[in-house]
Amino acid sequence: MAPARKSKAHQPAPLSRSLVLDNGAYTIKAGFVSGDAVDEPRIIPNCIARDRNKKIYVASELGKCTDFSEVAFRRPVEKGFIVNWEAEKEIWEHEFFDDKAPLPCDPSDTRLVLAEPSNSLPVLQTNCDQMVFEEFGFASYYRGIGPSFSAYHDVQGILRTPRDPGTVAQLPAEILLLIDTGYSHTTITPILQGRPIHSAIRRLDVGGKLLTNYLTRLLSLRHYDMRNETYIVNEMKEAACYVSLDFKGDLERTWKGTRGERRESYLNGGGVARDYVLPDFHTRMKGIVREFDPLQTSRARKLAAGESSEDVLTLRNERFTVPEVLFHPSDIGIRQPGIADLVMQSLRVLPTGLWPGLLANIIVVGGNSLFDGFVERLQKEIVQLAPDECFVRVARPVDPITSTWLGGANLAIHEHINALSVTKQEYEEYGAAWVSRKFATGVES
């Protein structure tokens, strides 16, 4: 009798389609990768909103809202971590799994590549893994630290390093220092051979949300009560604020003077003041930034008692003191160092031999990096703190909002993804603890 043939271990067919998700606190960046084809990512508001008429908008439905005055938001992400899976599940189902989903997805034959923040709590990671496999039923899954996805970019291309034509970018990048300044917080992550150096990761609890709240407080004290208008204030922040390269000089130019005094630079705006025309959601759906007009300001005061066709806020030092919190959090009582000091804190726990490579390859991503002057100011401050023999280069991708997603898309077509990801069958066989260990280990060198 012939000996029984040993059955071969079942090897699942390789998946040809991946859903890449950068699940940010303010927006979700989502798109598919099929084979070597990378789709354009969609930017989806990561919230459930309710307007003053009690109408509910889920995620991308927010685009149908015609009046953002007094809109209330429910966000499933707090301090960078998904803490409300009930709301997040509703958003994912609306965007990916419903019959009329904008990005229809069949999870049974799709790999999910999900970006997560650094130093997430194990219990939150386990909850996430359970939702992916048990609730949504994805065939395969990889959960990786978002900043490490940026190593799968052409980093030298972003830094505009001179090189021979036809040179192929090394993926993952050998070394870089990634600064991600988003809605919830700012993180500094040194990355070596595509893997984050966890002991050197530093976090600053200042992000777009805190800056918007700070601007709301200033405007409510100086102009109108804007405490229920955070959406409008956030648009104002993005349109009018900038990072000052001469903070003391700009502060001097916007100073009114002592009591009863009206300094000339204050009266004419000092080149800093701007008028912001608030939206009325009838004739103007978005606010408008325009040059400061002293005559218009005095005329507006005279018309304040009567009918006026527009509500105008004059922004002076608010334009640059709000983003300044990223560099000096102590200005508003936060006991943490600024971004440049955190970069040096991160470097000090690493061998000095890595410093030149990290300082010469600094990439900034996230919405706050879009402030005018942000990159120049950051480079200026790091140069002042870094050793003289180290060359400092700071660069921002063309689109810092979708940069992490594009890195994840490049990872999804890279050979590493098969070694990194976990199948549903493996999850059911080995359990959640094994999955967490595998994601923490990464690619075996």
pLDDT in tens, 5-45: 433 344 445 677 899 999 999 999 999 998 888 889 999 99
Question: Is residue 292 over pLDDT 90?
Answer: no
- Weakest mean pLDDT among 40-49, 274-283, 377-386: 274-283
Residue owning tokens 């830094």: 159
pLDDT for position 443: 62
pLDDT tier for residue 282 given thresholds of 50, 70 and 90:
confident
Region of poorest pLDDT, from 5-19, 39-53, 57-71, 385-399: 5-19
**pLDDT tens, 96-138?**
998 888 999 999 899 999 999 988 899 999 999 999 999 999 9
Instruction: Tell how strand 422-423 and strand 37-38 pair up.
Output: unpaired
CB atoms within 10 A of CB 155: 26
pLDDT value of residue 300: 54
pLDDT band at 265 (very low <50, low <70, confident <90, very high): low
Q: What is the pLDDT of residue 4?
A: 45
Q: How confident is the model over 398-410, as pLDDT tens digits? A: 999 999 999 999 9
The residues facing 37 across adjacent strands are 34
Give pLDDT tens digits for 142-165: 999 999 999 999 888 888 888 777
Look at 156 and 341; give whichever has higher pLDDT: 341
42-67: average pLDDT: 92
User: Amino acid letter at 64?
Assistant: K
CB 56 within 8 A of CB 73: no
CB 27 within 8 A of CB 39: no
